[in-house]
Structure 1
Amino acid sequence: MSAAQTKLYDLKISGSGTSGGGTFKDVKISGSGKIHGDLSCKDFHMSGSGKVDGKVDAEHMKTSGSSVFSGDIQTGTFTVSGSSKCNGNLTAQEVDISGSMKIAGDLFAQTLESSGACRVDGKLQGQSLETSGSLKVGKDCEVESFTSSGSVHIDGLLNADKIDIKLHHHSTIKEIGGETVVVKQSRTGKFFKQVVNFFTQKDEFLHCDLIEGDLITLENTKAKLVRGKHIIIGENCEIDHVEYSHELDTKENAKVERSTKI
């Protein structure tokens, strides 16, 4: 095959232009451009209100407007600073969200950093997750390291070796399992958050059915069952039952209905 036959060209769409899918070098969409069909490229950049009606396979992706992808996405890096929606699954090495991202399927990312709003209707899997905005997961979340300083809502199991949650807003996680689990109330802007919570009638607690780990430290947590080796039940906790094998330390401003050494 000759060099001319293998050469890849760039695709640029501005305004309200449309194009079919295919294999390209760099793809740039500005305005309200649309691509009909599957797309394969090196760099993908979308600004405006673009749409891809098909699957996307790219090395690098960046969206800064309002983007919609009807199929699965596979990429090395994905940077979202606007509003983006994927109606399939998203698989990436790195995902960075400073805007809002909604994934109708599953999210597989080695590293996920989000300071905006991230919603995954399916499951979330990866190595490192760090969020300071809003995170919602419809099924299980399985990572090696989980760090949160925003609001978290996980309808399934959060499973990670290291879990560090700083509560800024009302959060719910059905079940938590990890080696080290730390849940603490954020100390920043405490008065302002108290005023906001008063008017919105939202309590700044983490609600769980089950928390299980080796080393567990909790604040502002309401849970049915906490089970582990070394457990500290800190201020503003309301726990129905604690099961511990080594040590239990219950602080003065904490409520534990029942505790059992196992």
Structure 2
Amino acid sequence: MKLQDVKSAGDVEIFDGEYGKISSAGDMAIRGKIRTETLKSMGDLHAAEDVIAGKIQIYGDADFKGTLTAEETQIYGDARFHKGVKIQDLKVFGNLRAQIIDADTFQVHGELEEAEALNAEKALFNGEFHVKQSMNLGKGEMNLAGKSTVKEIFCESLRVSSRESGYQGIFAGLVSRGKGGTLTVELIEGDELDLENTHCDTVRGRNIRIGKGSKIRRVEYQESLKIFEDGEVLEKEEF
């Protein structure tokens, strides 16, 4: 059975059901639980219930009251997820607030204002983030601006830097609150760790580089530890 398509030149309301393609040139209000192949809004989007979708594009602010499950989501504005998020590929160009985020690939160019936890195979931050509990990452890259915080990071590899060259084009405007930034965290554990501007109680890993602006109380390493520029390590142990 062919699914219904919805296309609007202005604002639109979407109710319970299964759809093919949904698009609007204005704001979109989703009043019930929906499943759709694609969803595109050129204005703000407000979803009152659960949304299951293939590809989502929102060129405005987004507010999801229910859970969001999608293959690919791009939001060019501020986003708020009140419940769980399960997405293969999530990109937010603005500010994001969420609970628990599960993604294969996760990117924020701006600020992750608040989240309980983040689980991702690949994560890229250009800006600032605040995660109350843990990050479980495969590969993580953080180009810092502002004062980022997280309780614990578990990963395969992680690179933390604070370089102006990391912000280009529209990203520069999203993270223009000041030059550089810092990361404050209690524990980082991974295989390959390259840390700048990081303040941490314990860093544990196989190959570790501690660089400029970093202050680490204790480092436990398996194969190599390199401390360069003005990086500080109070205690170190090979295991």
Question: Do Structure 1 and Structure 2 share a fold, with TM-score over 0.5?
Answer: yes
* Structure possessing the higher relative contact order (Cα contacts under 8 Å, 6 or more residues apart): 2
Q: Is the 8 A contact 1:174 1:210 kept in 2?
A: yes
User: By how many angstroms is 1:221 displaced?
Assistant: 0.6
Structure 1 portions without partners, runs of 5+: 1-5, 9-23
Which residue does 1:186 correspond to in 2?
Answer: 163
Bigger Cα Rg: 1
Q: CA RMSD in A?
A: 2.4
Residues 46-125 of structure 1 aligned to structure 2 (within 5 Å): 46-120=24-98, 122-125=99-102
Q: 1:91-131: per-residue Cα shift (whole Å, max 9, x none)?
A: 000011111221101111111122222221x2111211222
Bigger drift between 241-250 and 226-235 goes to 241-250
Gap change, CA 1:189 and 1:56, over 3 Å in 2? closer
In structure 2, the residue corresponding to 1:65 is in which secondary structure? coil
Q: TM-score, normalised by structure 1?
A: 0.81
In structure 2, the residue corresponding to 1:82 is in which secondary structure? coil
Q: Is the 8 A contact 1:132 1:150 kept in 2?
A: yes
Q: Is the 8 A contact 2:143 2:163 kept in 1?
A: yes
Q: Is the 8 A contact 2:157 2:193 kept in 1?
A: yes
Q: Is the 8 A contact 1:228 1:245 kept in 2?
A: yes
Bigger drift between 55-64 and 24-33 goes to 24-33
Query: Is 2:25 aligned against 1:25?
Result: no
Residues 151-170 of structure 1 aligned to structure 2 (within 5 Å): 151-170=128-147
Q: 1:155-208: per-residue Cα shift (whole Å, max 9, x none)?
A: 221112211111133211221111111111123399x99x9549xxxx810111
One-letter amino acid of the counterpart of residue 30, structure 2: V
Q: Is the 8 A contact 1:93 1:110 kept in 2?
A: yes
Cα distance in 2 for residues equivalent to 1:77 and 1:93:
6
Q: Percent identity?
A: 28
How many residues matched? Answer: 233
Query: Is 2:198 aligned against 1:221?
Result: yes
